[in-house]
Amino acid sequence: MAAVVGDRGTTSRAAQPPQRPRGPMMKLSLAAYSFNRLLARNWDPQDPPKDRMILDDFVRFCARMKLPGCELTAYYFPRVVTPQYVARLKRLTFLAGLDISGTAIGNDYCVADEQAWMRQITMTREWIDRAAALGAPVIRIFAGRVPKGDTEQAARNRCVKAINTVLPYAAQKGVFLALENHGGITATSDQMLEIIRQVDDSPFFGVNFDSGNFRTADPYADLERIAPYAINAQIKVSVAPEGKGKQPADLERVIGILSRAGYRGYVVLEYEEQDPEREIPMYLRRLRELIG
Fold of 25-291: TIM Barrel (3.20.20)
Strand, coil or helix: 246: coil
Whole-angstrom distance, CA of residue 164 vs CA of residue 43:
32
Task: State mean pLDDT over 244-265.
Answer: 97
pLDDT recorded at residue 4: 47
Chain segment 83-131, per-residue pLDDT in tens = 999 999 999 999 999 999 999 999 999 999 999 999 999 999 999 999 9
Check if the beta carbon of residue 187 is closer than 8 Å to that of residue 134: no
Q: Which residue has the higher pLDDT, 245 or 71?
A: 71
pLDDT recorded at residue 161: 99
Task: State mean pLDDT over 166-193.
Answer: 99
Whole-angstrom distance, CA of residue 160 vs CA of residue 151:
14
Whole-angstrom distance, CA of residue 68 vs CA of residue 138:
16
Above 90 in pLDDT, residue 142? Answer: yes
Above 60 in pLDDT, residue 42? Answer: yes
Whole-angstrom distance, CA of residue 129 vs CA of residue 69:
20
DSSP one-letter code for 47 = B
pLDDT recorded at residue 22: 87
> How far is the CA of 123 from the CAs of 46, 128, 202, in angstroms?
24, 9, 21
**Residue 268's pLDDT band (cuts 50, 70, 90):** very high
**What pTM was estimated for this model as a whole?**
0.94
Q: Over the chain, what is the mean pLDDT?
A: 95
pLDDT recorded at residue 1: 40
List, in order, residues 6 or more apart from 111 with CB less than 8 Å away.
4, 117, 120, 144, 147, 158
Above 50 in pLDDT, residue 11? Answer: no
Above 80 in pLDDT, residue 149? Answer: yes
Domain layout of the chain by residue ranges = 25-291
Task: State mean pLDDT over 234-251.
Answer: 96
pLDDT recorded at residue 19: 84
Whole-angstrom distance, CA of residue 187 vs CA of residue 191:
7
Concatenated DSSP letters of 166-179: HHHHHHHHT-EEEE
The whole-angstrom distance between residue 199's C-alpha and the CA centroid of its chain comes to: 17
